[in-house]
Each structure stands twice: as structure tokens, then as C-alpha cells.
Amino acid sequence: MTCNPDLLIKNIGILATPVGSSAKGGKEQGHIELIEGAFIAVKDGVITGVGKANNLMDFKPAENTKLIDAGGNLVTPGLVDPHTHLVFSGWRQKELSLKLKGVKYLDILKMGGGILETVGKTRRASLEELISNGMKALDRMLEYGTTTCEAKSGYGLNLEDEIKSLAAIKELNRLHPVDVVPTFMGAHAVPAEYRENKKEYIRLIVEEMIPRVAREGLAEFCDVFCEEGVFDIEESRYILECAKAHGLVPKLHADEITPMGGARLAAEVGALSAEHLIYATDDGIRAMAKSGTIAVLLPGTSFYLGESFARARTMIEEGVPVALATDFNPGSSPTESLQLVMNLACLKYRMTPEEVLTAVTLNAAAAVKRASTIGTIEVGKQADIIIWDAPDLDFIFYHYGVNLVRTVIKKGKVVVQ
């Protein structure tokens, strides 16, 4: 049967993609389909054909078909960044010199700086300012190959400003080609006005913020910063159980700076993902493997905070699907580049290029519940595609520190050229 595509990508040197619609752990994580000399046909934003050039005759270009010559380069699915703190006002470059003097991230937070400094500026910012800041970050993400990202609130920390942040995320999703998936994170820190009364802040989250966010459909996920001096295990469990009761899917910032037992908690509450996991224990990793919780690892944060690197190899070997994300935020990971994260994962986690590709496409899509529509290049999936300035997959892990994305296609349209 012939069909006239509205986009045809030809002369692909190597097409590299995971296959399927669910997260892959264990050996499966490194299983990538490689097609040499491939083509991709797209109609109405959806992939209608993928294969070897000699099968191309079934896809006759019509007069209005857009033809793209991939120039013999590598083609992969669009990248998915499943953990970002996209919406804020207040970069914190002055923390750099403190860090160089040896001041610790959690000590800056204890002194009322860190996240709380960004909270002050975000509260004072207008909705328009938050949108404009977010647009700038999304432009950069897209240039570096990210076609879908998750975005957490969490710099408002009161009802009005958390809603304002989620409204900004909703508007960013509408305005920008990058799809933005919303997560409510009112439990990102305890705001200064509740320092002596954390219980009351948790009551506010549970009785006012979560019901309103859920009622107005402003978020799909709920995340908590489970960390020493922030929210402990039982507080985190209580907030996530309440979120679940309101239809929000739990995620957790787990074992980032202190071993807290966050990985096990994520498994126990049935979280879709546990994120960071630098200090996850063997017991926690096994619990995650059993519950099917995805590990969203953030090597950029380890690099930037000077912390250890999460035990990605152990997680993969235990059968936990590993996804990778930037953690883009103004404190612990000020970068939009998922490419840098991919390089770090390869060299510091010792993940293979194939495992990393799965981690930033299919597994990342699964971590935001989008694996049935994005994350692979297969017939029926949304046409989110990258043409790289690279001849093969190894090259993008070898030539590092520069942007190797040549063309980005989102829903069948060229958005970066």
C-alpha cells in the first residue's frame, strides 16, 4: 500500500532507537535497534514508516511532501528530560564562590539561602516573568535535543505561588514546541515562615495545595524532597499517600545527599520514579526492582555538587530501569544540556552508549508516563526525531562538550535547523 507522507527523512546513516512502549531494565536496557541506510516517513505528526531505503517505494513523496536529507548522519528519537525545576526566578551564581570555599549545599539552605533564596524571588515574580524565564530555558533545551521535559513547581511554597508556578508550566506547554509535563512539588523545602512549625506547612500541602492542584488538573505527578532537614521518611510518605488519594502519581527526590531510605519508600508507596539515588542502599535498589520503580539519575547534580555518583550499574544489573535527566535548576544543576548528562552517565556511571540512549528516550518517556506515544522511532509513535552531526552513536559520547544536534523535528515539524 502506498501512502503520501508529509515528511520524508532520507539518507540516514544509522537510525538508533530502543523499541517498545515500556521502561527497560537489566540487559534489555542496552538493546537498541540499529538500521543502516534508513528512511522515516511521517504523516500528521505521526511516524508512518521506518525502514531500509530499498523499501522506500511504498512512501511516494507528493508535491507538498517535505524532504530532508540526513546527510548520512545518526538519527535518534527526540530526547526526554524527566526531571527539571524549570520555573523560577533567581539564579544563584553567588553560591559558586561559597561552594569553592567548601560550604555545603544543605548548609546554605539551613542559612536561609539555596532553594529559599529562589523562593523569595519567585514569589515576587509575575506570571509573565516566570513564563519568559521558562521560554528561554526551553529554547535552549530544544537546541540541545530535548523534545519533552517534566517540570516541577516548588519555588512558590504557598498556595498562591505554587498555583502561579503550575499556571506558568501549563502556559509554557501551550506556547513552546517542547511538551512540558507538570509535577507539583510544594514539598520542595519548608518555607521560612513555617520553620518552627513544619507540621502546619505539611497540613497546608495536604489539605489545601494538593486538593486544589488535583481539582484544577494542574499537575500529573507529586514529588517530595525527602532529605535531612527537609522532609523525613514518614512526612514524605504521608504527603505522597495524600497525593495518590487525589489521583496524583508519586515521585520522590530520594537519597540525594544523605542515605535516608528514600529508595525503599519510593517502592513502598508505588512511586513511578525515584530520583537522584546517590546514596540508595542495596535493599532500596532491590525494593525498586520489585515494585518496577524507575530510577531517574542526575549525574549533572553529582558533578556540580561534588557528590558521589549513583550506582547506575548495580541498578541496571538488578533490573531497575534507569532514566537520566538534567535536574535543571538554579542551585544544584544549572544546565539545560541533556547531552552533557549523557556524556557524564557514560564516563562516570560506566553506562554504554546504548544504555544511555534508552535512558534519555524510552525510559525517560516511561518516567513521565508517555512511553506509549514517544521515546522510540516506530510506526504509530509521535514524530519527535533528532538528526545529529555525528556518523554513529559512539561519536556523541566521544566528541563531548559541544552541541552535536543538527536538526530537531517535533510532531513532524522541523523546529531546529
Q: List contacts with ligand NIG (CB under 6 A).
A: 85, 114-115, 118, 225, 253, 256, 301, 327, 329-332
83 is in an annotated binding site: yes
Pair 383, 61: CB distance under 8 Å: no
d(Cα 70, Cα 13) in Å, to the nearest integer?
8
155 is in an annotated binding site: yes
Interaction partner, residue 114 (ligand NIG, Fe ion, none; CB < 5-8 Å by kind): ligand NIG
227 is in an annotated binding site: no
161 is in an annotated binding site: no
Smallest separation, CB 306 to Fe ion (Å): 17
Smallest separation, CB 113 to ligand NIG (Å): 10
Smallest separation, CB 296 to Fe ion (Å): 9
Interaction partner, residue 201 (ligand NIG, Fe ion, none; CB < 5-8 Å by kind): none
Interaction partner, residue 332 (Fe ion, ligand NIG, none; CB < 5-8 Å by kind): ligand NIG
Interaction partner, residue 225 (ligand NIG, Fe ion, none; CB < 5-8 Å by kind): ligand NIG
Smallest separation, CB 43 to ligand NIG (Å): 39
89 is in an annotated binding site: no
246 is in an annotated binding site: no
Q: What angle do CA 71, 73, 76 make, to 5 degrees?
A: 130
DSSP category for residue 27:
G
Collect all residues with Cβ–Cβ distance below 8 Å to 28 and sequence separation of at least 6: none
Smallest separation, CB 232 to Fe ion (Å): 18
Interaction partner, residue 5 (Fe ion, ligand NIG, none; CB < 5-8 Å by kind): none
Q: In 10 A of CB 228, how many CB atoms?
A: 12
188 is in an annotated binding site: yes
Smallest separation, CB 189 to ligand NIG (Å): 8
Number of shown-chain residues binding Fe ion (CB under 5 A): 1
d(Cα 255, Cα 260) in Å, to the nearest integer?
6
Angle between helices 338-348 and 353-360 (to 10 degrees): 140
d(Cα 328, Cα 195) in Å, to the nearest integer?
26
Q: What angle do CA 238, 244, 247 make, to 5 degrees?
A: 150
Quick one: 11 or 258, whose CB is closer to Fe ion? 258
Q: What 3-state class would DSSP assign to 108?
A: helix
Collect all residues with Cβ–Cβ distance below 8 Å to 294 and sequence separation of at least 6: 23, 272, 273, 274, 320, 321, 322, 323, 363, 366, 367
Q: Is 176 exposed, middle or buried (0-12, 13-18, 19+ CB in 10 A)?
A: buried
Provide DSSP, 320-350.
--EEE-----SSS-----HHHHHHHHHHHS-
Quick one: 35 or 312, whose CB is closer to ligand NIG? 312
327 is in an annotated binding site: yes
Interaction partner, residue 179 (ligand NIG, Fe ion, none; CB < 5-8 Å by kind): none
How far does CA 297 lie from the centroid of its chain? 9
Q: What 3-state class would DSSP assign to 42?
A: strand
Residue numbers 313-372 binding Fe ion by CB under 5 A: 327
Under rule CB under 5 A, residue 223 binds Fe ion: no
Q: Which residues fall in the annotated binding site for 4-imidazolone-5-propanoate?
A: 92, 155, 188, 256, 332
Q: Which residues fall in the annotated binding site for Fe(3+)?
A: 83, 85, 253, 327
Q: Which residues fall in the annotated binding site?
A: 83, 85, 92, 155, 188, 253, 256, 327, 329, 331-332
State the residues that interact with Fe ion by CB under 5 A: 327
Q: Which residues fall in the annotated binding site for Zn(2+)?
A: 83, 85, 253, 327
